[in-house]
Structure 1
Amino acid sequence: MADEDSPLSTFVQSIRRDLNCVSDMDRNVRRNSLQRLHKRLTQKQTLPPTPVLQEAWDNDILPILVKSVSDNAESCRELAVQLLVFGIQNSIVVEQTMALCLSPLIERIGNLPMKEDSEEVRLLLIQLVKSLVLSCSLEMLSTNLEPIVQILKSSLADQYHEIKKEACDVIHSVIGRTKNFTQQSLESLLKASIPNLKHPHSKVRLATLQGINMIMKCNVPADTVSALLIPVTEALVFDHSERVRKYFLESVAEWICCGFEESNDNDDHVNLSIFRTKLSHLLPLLICGIFDASKEIGSTALALAENIGHVYTTCATNRRHNSGTADDAADNEMEYHLLLPSPFKERPGRTCCIMVQDFLEELIPHIKNSLQEWAETTKLYGARLLLAVLVFAEQQIAPYLHSIIPTLCSAVGDNNVCIAKLIVASSHILGWQTSPSSWMSQIVGQVSSSNASSVQVANGLVIMSGLLYGTKKHTGNDGLAKEVLKALINLNLQFNSHASVHNQTLAILQNLLKVFGANYSTCSSDILFILVQIQCFGSNLSQKQAVADIEKALADVMGFTSVRSLYESQAELLLGMIIADHETWSTHVHGQALFHAFLQKISNLAGPYLERLLPVLKGCVQPERDPSLRLKLLQILDELFEIEELAVWWYSLASTVLGQIILPCGVWRVGKIGAAIRHAAMVAFGTFLRMNLCSQHDLETHLLSDQVLPVVLSCLEEDYYVDVRIVTCHVLQELLRISGNSLTDKQRGDVQKALQKRLDDSSDGVRLRILPAISLFFRTMPSSYSDASIRSFAANILVHMDDSNVEIRESVFKALQVCTSLRPAILEDLIKSKRDQHEKTEYCDRLLDQAASLQIMEATNA
């Protein structure tokens, strides 16, 4: 027993009353007592020497405070814990404190649900645990690891974020002092920590990572890491906090190397095996971080990967020595640097390449599975990982193309633009790392599959374009080029209305030019054929520009001074390709559209090939062929007639064109379709005559054989479409202009009847357009034409000079002026007899004056 006058006795007596009151029934008394104790114990100038305080603490103060930890009043519990923390921080030996405190700590916060309901007190309690951990002896700590682990597990599950952070700090402190944990304890701590990696507070996630980092330093088995940690840490690669992402990548690097650097010669083999196992699980996380959104983090991840690669290759003494790193020429090396994505500024180090290449067999399936998941972050993880692996794998990736190509084709269509961009970048790198012959057949098979939709085809074309973009210049051969072009020709016919297919086709053609260079010349006709395909199905402004660029580049490669010269050199071959299947053309087969686009492209260069086109045109306008096709071909024919430079070529073919193509289409057939065909035929016939593509001799030959007039006159009788009558008026006008004076009397009589009938047409449009033909009829009539016929025709026309339509009155007047100039006496006599029947006599008087003047002139000349 201490002497009553000793410092210990004196000190204890000074606080005895407060110590006794801590057990009072009244909470206020207990609280006040604890407050006084707190004040007394925290005033260092009034405290006894440390040995005295230590003895008083262990024997008198500590038991009472430990009991108060379970007080019913929150304020009392809070004060008691604060005093305990203070006592630990000011004690020489805390073994007694730890022995007494662990039990109430476990009771209050060691089990879920926690008995302690105050967040503030729980925070103080976990801080108390931290103080105990830092202050106790190593032996005492090792003895009490299990209860501490139990408390930490519960605290990590606490809803209060500050408690979670404090618990992680305690883990850091404990493991910083001892690593003598059982595997079960480590696994339980790891399980308790992992949910906090998804906590909304970035500071909690960072603290959790720091705690897990310490746990991993205890050599957690690789299987445990794979089963528990890897599935949840993938998301940390995309954490919103840059601090978290950077620390995570640094932690992954530490986890990989943890324990390996400390190995000795006797256990090198065992540790290398563990090292490889860790790498297989953790390496994907690290190299995925290379393409972090932050350039700084990406550079950090790359540097960490390079360092680990150095460690790996230094220790893996049985590693093969061929890394697969290409030894390219300087110009190719520069080209590759342009392809490399940031943060790569040059080829990756050889050691890191070796490391990644050793794990390709595990990495490729992992990437494929990630890209097939529905979660966006998982797919983004897979896309980043794929790009990183391809950069490091170099030529060693070739054996895995059968798996990578379909994966690329599938993933490039993702709705997430970031994923799609990463996949395209991957195709660029893959194109560089491998030769076209190693993947060409496979990618062509992907896009040529009969079951592929337009979207799948477009995706495959994106990858094909990317592979070609990355391929080294001038490394292809014409056999591979023809394989690609054959597939593109079929695709653009099959998916003619899909702009995405056309866009990617153009990109492929541009990249093919780069890859195959001069070898491309043997495929020029196929390329031009594809360009015509794209244009015939409609193209926007950007597509037109792309087509023009490709044409110019191809012309340069082949040594032509212009695109026109290029097409001129290939026109015959292209024409053969386009018309090869003309017998199968229909509405649903787009050969005629291709034919049209080609003719528009070569335009005035088509002359030498017109004779070759005639059988195609003739065959396609036959009555048994598709009506839409017949209309389209007649439209094409009309457009060709309009090209002035082709006139000399048409001149020699006029008889065939007229007799075998145009006139048969003008023959009357029942129905709307027949009327539409007749209209198209008359439009083409009118252009044919207007452009003077037929000699007078050829036309007269057909007139004499009655091949022309019956068709034209029947079209003037068209009942269904007034437009047919209108365009036929123009045809008849041109016929009279060219061969009007060569008509027989019978033909002229038939024409006169038709003209007279059209002047009585129900459509003013027809009446107006027939009057120029009437003028030509009078102008071309022979002098032997009977006066009776002229008088009868003029009398019927004269009636319309009083028409309500001013244009018709003017046109009738002009026609009668022509007649008057040729037969003034007949017209003078006729007009005088009819003048009084006209409401307006102005035109009659002008014609009479003309007739009188002409007769005076005739008399004078006579």
Structure 2
Amino acid sequence: MAEDGALGDQPRAADVVKALGRHLGGLQEPGRDARLRALRAIRAEVQERPLSALVLQEVFAKQLLRPLVRCLVGDPAERCRELAVQLTCHGLSHGARPAEALPCLLPALAQRLCSPQGQSHEPCEELRLALIQLLSLLLELCEADLPTYLPEIIRLLYAYIRRQKHFHMQSEFLIKPLMQTVSHQHFRVRVAVIQATGTVIQFGNGKSVDDVLSHLAQRLFDEIPQVRQAVTSVVGEWLLHLRDRYSYFHKLIPLLLSSFTDEMPENKQLAVSYWKRIGLQWEKENEEDLKDKLDFYSAPSHYPEGVVRPELGCRELVTRNLSKILPGLCHDVTDWVEGTRIKASQLLFILLLHAEDHITQHMELLLTTLYRVCLSEENNVVRNCVKAAELIGTFVSPKVSLKLLVSALEKTPMPSNLMILAAVIRGCPRQVLKPHLSYLANTLSQPEICQRSEEIFYMEQLLCCVQAITEVCQEDCKEISLQLMKVLVTIMAIPRTEHLHEKVEESMCSLAQVQHLSGFLDLYKQHIDQLMEWVSVSHDCWNCYSPEVLQLDVIATHSGPIIGEALQDFIPILKTCLQPTKDPLMRLKLFTILSQLLQKANETINSQGYLFDFRGYVSCLFSFVFCSVSQYKRRNHLKICLYFMISHICPVLLVQLRICFFLELLKRLDDAAHDVRLAAAQALTDWFKCIRNDDEKTVIKSNIEFLYRELLIHLDDPDQNIQRAVLEVLKEGSVLYPELLVKEIEAVEHKHRTPAYCNQLLQHIQSTGE
């Protein structure tokens, strides 16, 4: 059957031989174009038409091989020699019996590739490469027949190796001119230079890698995607095929992984593809060392969402080279060039993702770098570093990470310390963090931490820590709720943090929610006793700079009706701190707090109706107010203290307290300070406004008569401003007993230096009585 098939092919082979006969003569023509046309015609007959292997073998062996070899060896035109090599390769790879070409081809290759002096007769570099590829094809197709021709093959390979060795020794001289051109203004030139550099080092001296790394790294910032792609391809090929690649892993891996964040998806995918191949190749090369890990190593139970875990080989490559990569990378993260900082911070995240729990070995260097970087205001770099810190939380035991973080925080509290701590908490699994909650919350609530700085940035990061704990630990936060409340109250108490109050309140609501409470007021209700105890520990020693005064302000005014349940703690604090011997500015602050509460007494301090039970304490507070009045020289401060005391305390006090109050105010009308006298007049106006009950008015009628008499004396004050202020007081008070006031006016009118104000008062009484 085989013979029948062969016979059936003979006419076809004869036809092809006949057709080729018309063109083979053209190979002897002196003109280049004629020989080139002949070769193209031959290619059309045997390469561009479908021929069986037997036909092609018949034609190639009997008619084409020797003319093609003569052309390959002796044709002066490069293009003709190139076509001859291509046709020879086609005949060998598609013919039925390629070994028959060995006696003819091997001497021709030896003649063309090496002379007795070891020099090539083929001047064209591309054709030398094509001839080597032709030799490689012969070795592959004719393996069984090679022993007979072993001497010729060895001579060819030896000559090739000598040339390779010569190139290996000379290649480093090409590096300098290449690097001088790698930043050429035309991007195609840059691409070509990068590709040439890859080839020169791949087949030359691998030590030149050190000479080109910085130049290639710079090209990763090139604005042209094709240039960055060329760098990725070259580095990927080196990591796969460079002879000394193990020695350069720590230098090449950062370059390839940097392309993971390239803005062009094609470049990113190219880098990912190369990296996967590199990791798998390394696994195969080190399979024995990795046997246990390949069989038993499982993924961490908690892994960043949306992130694909790299292959084991990739992770191992990073882990084993991380100690050599990190120092330089940490330096680059703080480089003076912004682009370098951004690229380095992106790479840091990628490396830590590969390193997993091996990050533990490098914690001190990492944390020191992250603290420094996160003090800056560069959003991109800080964002990348915070993401990297979250990986620390994911992969490093809190027993290690929290110890280092808290130690640094206690030593030198900075906003960046808190920022990194918050990131680590966010990355940490809930069950892993749970045993360390008390330690963490107690640390944050220490005065040395939460009260260390009034810097806004510091307070913002402290709030982030509380938010991170609440977000991660959920219901587990119940055991540390009090400590977190102390921190939140402290943040709200810091001056100039008004813009944070809404966020603090949201955090309180979140903390209440995870405990199944209805809102932040329930948190205050749950902790009010402990909070008051916490804030009042040293209240006997407070001054205007004591942070506890501001914390008390928050607890008292932000807790709404809950403060009404803590009067047994709140009122004694006021009694102690409002003593005349205490710091005046602190006392003024406490007066202001009390005034704010009394504006809505039934919704705050008297929400439970307990204020009257503390009337003895409140009487003391009044005496402290009046002892303080002469010390304060600013009218507005005094008005705040006195106005609200009269307007809001009076309705719940005894009548005797009112009498005591107006007597003290009368004394202040003789004060040496002009502002104090005006404020006292305003307070007496408010005092009169509080008396509208007929029974109460009747009880203190004699006191009102005395007050009319004393005020009329001040109506004749030398200072017209005081006269006008007292006139307003008497107008307000005239509604109580107008006839009695008219009688008192008539008794003293003739004694006044000017009766003008007396007349105005009489006209007012007359007009209101009509």
Q: Does the TM-score normalized on the shorter chain lie above 0.5?
A: yes
Q: Which residue of 2 aligns with 1:715?
A: 668
Amino acid corresponding to residue 664 of structure 1 in structure 2 = F
Q: 1:104-127 CA deviation, whole Å, 9 max, x = no partner?
A: xxxxxxxxxxxxxxxxxxxxxxxx
Task: Give, in whole Å, the separation in 2 of the partners of 1:809 and 1:88.
Answer: 131
> 2:683 aligned with 1:725, yes or no?
no
Deviation at 1:765, TM superposition (A): 4.0
- Cα deviation, 1:204-249, whole Å, max 9, x if unaligned, reads 211111110111221523x4322x1222222122221111111211
- Tell me what 1:236 maps to: 219
CA distance in 2, matches of 1:467, 1:673: 52
Query: Distance in 2 between the 1:624 and 1:367 partners?
Result: 60
State yes or no: 1:601 paired with 2:558: yes
Question: Which residue type is aligned with residue 693 of structure 1?
Answer: V
| 3-state secondary structure, aligned to 1:667 | helix
Following superposition, the deviation at residue 312 of structure 1 comes to 1.0
Alpha-carbon distance in 2 for matches of 1:670, 1:694: 24
**What TM-score, normalized by structure 1, do the two folds share?**
0.65
In the alignment, is the contact (CA less than 8 A) between 2:393 and 2:424 conserved in 1? yes
- Measured against aligned partners, the alpha-carbon deviations of 1:141-198 in whole angstroms (never above 9, x if no partner) come to 97599x999xxxxxxxxxxxxxxxxxxxxxxxxx999634354421111222123223
**Residue number among 210, 217, 235 corresponding to 2:202 in the alignment:** 217
Residue 12 of structure 2 corresponds to none
> How do 1:425-574 residues align onto structure 2 when only pairs under 5 Å count?
425-450=387-412, 457-477=414-434, 479-484=436-441, 486-487=443-444, 490=447, 491-498=449-456, 500-537=457-494, 543-574=500-531
Q: Deviations over 1:367-406 (max 9, x none)?
A: 2232233233332332122111111111222222222122
What is the aligned partner in structure 1 of residue 249 from structure 2? 279
Gap change, CA 1:526 and 1:292, over 3 Å in 2:
same
User: What is the CA distance between 1:466 and its match in structure 2?
Assistant: 1.7
- The answer to whether the Cα contact below 8 Å between 1:398 and 1:434 also exists between their aligned partners in 2 is yes
Whether 1:248 and 2:248 are equivalent positions in the alignment is no
Q: Post-superposition shift, 1:631?
A: 1.2
Q: State whether structure 2 residue 282 is matched by structure 1 residue 312.
A: yes
8 Å contact from structure 1 (residues 716, 725) kept in 2: yes
Distance, in Å, in 2 between the alignment partners of 1:418 and 1:176 is 51
Alpha-carbon contact 1:236-1:245 (below 8 Å) kept: yes
- Superposition deviation, residue 308 in structure 1: 0.5
Residues in 2 aligned to 1:556 and 1:92: alpha-carbon distance in whole angstroms: 83
Pair 1:443–1:633, CA change in 2 (3 A): same
Superposed CA offset, 1:408-438 (max 9, x none): 2222344543322221221222222223332
Q: Distance in 2 between matches of 1:52 and 1:559?
A: 95
| 2:430 match: secondary structure | coil
State the partner residue of 2:362. 400
1:612 CA displacement: 1.5
Tell me how many residue pairs correspond in the alignment: 625
**After superposition, what is the alpha-carbon deviation per residue over 1:13-61, rounded to whole angstroms, capped at 9, x for unaligned?**
xxxxxxxxxxxxxxxxxxxxxxxxxxxxxxx99x9557999xxxxxxxx
CA shift at 1:617, angstroms? 1.4
Rounded to whole Å, the distance in 1 between the matches of 2:683 and 2:118 is 111
Partner SS state of residue 477, structure 1: helix
Select 2:189's aligned residue among 182, 188, 204. Answer: 204
Q: Does the aligned pair in 2 maintain the 1:688–1:694 contact within 8 Å?
A: no
Deviation at 1:255, TM superposition (A): 1.1
State the distance in 1 between where 2:386 and 2:690 align.
63
**Partner AA of 1:300 in structure 2:** L
What is the aligned partner in structure 1 of residue 615 from structure 2? Answer: 654
Q: What does residue 168 of structure 1 align with?
A: none
AA aligned to 1:210 is Q
Name the CA distance, whole Å, in 2 between partners of 1:414 and 1:138: 63
Matched-pair contact (CA < 8 Å) for 2:578–2:587: yes
What displacement does 1:651 show?
1.4
**Contact 1:465–1:508 (8 Å) recurs in 2:** yes
Aligned-residue Cα RMSD (Å) equals 3.9
Amino acid at match of 2:612: Y
Match of 1:695 among 654, 658, 669: 654
Pair 1:584–1:313, CA change in 2 (3 A): farther
Quickly say closer, same or farther: Cα 1:809–1:309, change in 2 above 3 A: farther
Task: Give deviations 1:453-478, integer Å, cap 9, x for gaps.
Answer: xxxx2222222222222222343226
1:671 and 1:466 map into 2 onto residues whose CA distance is 50
Aligned-partner SS, 1:251: helix
Note if contact 1:325-1:350 (Cα within 8 Å) is conserved in structure 2: no
Indicate how the Cα distance of structure 1 residues 736 and 377 shifts in structure 2: closer, same or farther if over 3 A, else same: closer
Is 1:664 matched up with 2:624? yes
- Counterpart for residue 711 of structure 2: 755
CA distance in 1, matches of 2:213, 2:700: 97
Cα distance change on mapping 1:201 and 1:444 into 2, 3 Å: farther
Of the three residues 624, 640, 643, the one matched with 1:683 is 643
Aligned partners of 2:505, 2:410: CA distance in 1, in Å?
26
CA distance in 1, matches of 2:445, 2:234: 49
**d(CA) in 2 for partners of 1:717, 1:148:** 115
For residue 557 of structure 1, report the CA deviation from its aligned partner. Answer: 1.7
92 and 424 in structure 1: CA distance in 2 versus 1, 3 angstrom threshold: closer
The change in CA–CA distance for 1:796 and 1:52 in structure 2 (over 3 A counts) is closer
Q: Distance between the aligned counterparts of 2:537 and 2:297, measured in 1?
A: 49
Give the stretch that moved more between structures: 425-434 or 769-778. 769-778
Deviation readout 1:457-514 (Å, 9 max, x if unpaired): 222222222222222234322643543553365444232241x223322322221113
Name 1:369's counterpart in structure 2.
331
What is the Cα deviation at residue 527 of structure 1?
A: 1.6
Give 1:301's aligned residue: 271
TM-score, normalization by structure 2:
0.72
Q: Distance in 2 between matches of 1:310 and 1:518?
A: 44
Deviation of residue 558 (structure 1)?
1.4
| Deviation larger for 542-551 or 389-398 | 542-551
- Give 1:656 shift: 1.9
Are 1:420 and 2:382 an aligned pair?
yes
- Asked if the contact 2:715/2:727 (under 8 Å) is kept, the reply is yes
1:811 counterpart = 2:767: no
**1:387/1:422 contact within 8 Å kept:** yes
Percent of aligned pairs sharing the same letter = 16
Q: Work out the CA distance in 1 between the residues paired with 2:442 and 2:119.
A: 76
